[in-house]
Amino acid sequence: MDEIQKIWKRHVYIAKASTAFIYGVLVSIAMNFFWEPGHIYSSGITGLAQLIATLTANLPVQLSTALLIFVLNVPLFVLAWFQIGHRFTFFTVLAVFCSSLMIKSLQPITLTHDPIICALFGAAINGFGTGLALKNGISTGGLDILGLTIRKHTGKSVGTINIIFNAFIVLAAGAVYGWPYAFYSALGIFVNARVMDMVYTRQQKMQVMIVTTKPKSVIDCIQNHIRRGITIVHGAEGAYKHDTKTILFTVISRYEQPELRQAMAESDPHAFVSIAENVHIMGHFYEPKP
């Protein structure tokens, strides 16, 4: 049993390391093929690194975007090491290192200078890479670390911080390249977030209502597959046959939907299951540790 666990853990580590490398390749393509030729700024720390590199371009000592991405993340690595976890920090450092290395190593190719095309395609590629990394339990550094730390201690989201930071990046793009580029960068940030949400589904909440005649079997099977609380409503009645049923309510993430489907197939394939998306949660909702 111990040997199986070791093999599985090794497999997980290899998968995370491979994902970190793929993320590095994708973000470097977004940066070198689209953002830089189109004068588009990314969001978060990457956008800040681009801004500093632009402002220091005429200085005797030039700072590359690739180097700045890693350097600006170093204080956040330290924060993650003490506040989140050592394994989480290791793979975050690996992902940021791969992105910096690939941005520096990959030869830039100018496909187009059209800012709208550069904003859209760069954001889509980067959003896919970031979502893929998050889906495999890897942070890409930057404001993710700050967000996880604040949520760990306060339980609150840091959406406001992200909005303010990215608004600063957008305004900087306008001041440096002209105000139309501020709108192009804002468009890119929006597309990046939407694509990332499409790929990374763990944070999307869904309310599940189950009408069943086998409540104990369904509850046991769901909780064996997913760590979720379930509310039980006894005494429901079917309108067609007037048979007694039980209604179960729970909230899952979209990421857990395949496990729910499997649990229902095993416990009560004839149950009626209704799923409502875009649920807003107030109170405690268990989230696996990074």
Q: What is the pTM of this model?
A: 0.73
Single out the residue of 39, 23, 17, 16 nearest to residue 182, CA to CA: 39
Closest CA to 95 of 55, 59, 135: 135
Same domain, 167 and 113: yes
C-alpha distances in angstroms, 75 versus 23, 68, 69, 138?
21, 12, 12, 18
Which CATH number is 250's domain given? 3.30.70.120
- Ranges of the chain whose pLDDT falls below 50: none
DSSP assignment string, 122-180: HHHHHHHHHHHHHHTT---STHHHHHHHHHHHH----HHHHHHHHHHHHHHHHHHH-HH
> What is the DSSP-derived secondary structure letter of residue 253?
E
Give residue-wise pLDDT tens across range 56-86. 887 787 789 999 999 999 999 998 888 888 8
Q: Containing domain of residue 261, as a range?
A: 205-277
- What sign has the CA pseudo-torsion 33, 37, 42, 47? positive
231 and 188 assigned to the same domain: no
Output the pLDDT for position 165.
Answer: 82
Residue 41 to residue 181: CA distance in whole angstroms: 9
Among 183, 199, 215, where does a domain finish?
199
Q: Are residues 248 and 221 in the same domain?
A: yes
Quick one: 152 and 262 in the same domain? no
The answer to whether 169 and 217 are in contact (CB under 8 A) is: no
Q: What is the pLDDT of residue 145?
A: 80
Are residue 159 and residue 189 in the same domain, yes or no? yes
Please count the structural domains in the chain: 2
CB burial of residue 277 (10 Å; 0-12, 13-18, 19+): exposed
Q: What is the DSSP letter of 107?
A: P
Shared domain for 209 and 194, answered yes or no, is no
Say yes or no: 186 and 221 in one domain.
Answer: no
Residue 130 sits in the same domain as residue 259: no
Q: Are 267 and 218 in contact (CB under 8 A)?
A: yes
36 and 179 fall within a common domain: yes
Q: Which residue type is seen at 172?
A: A
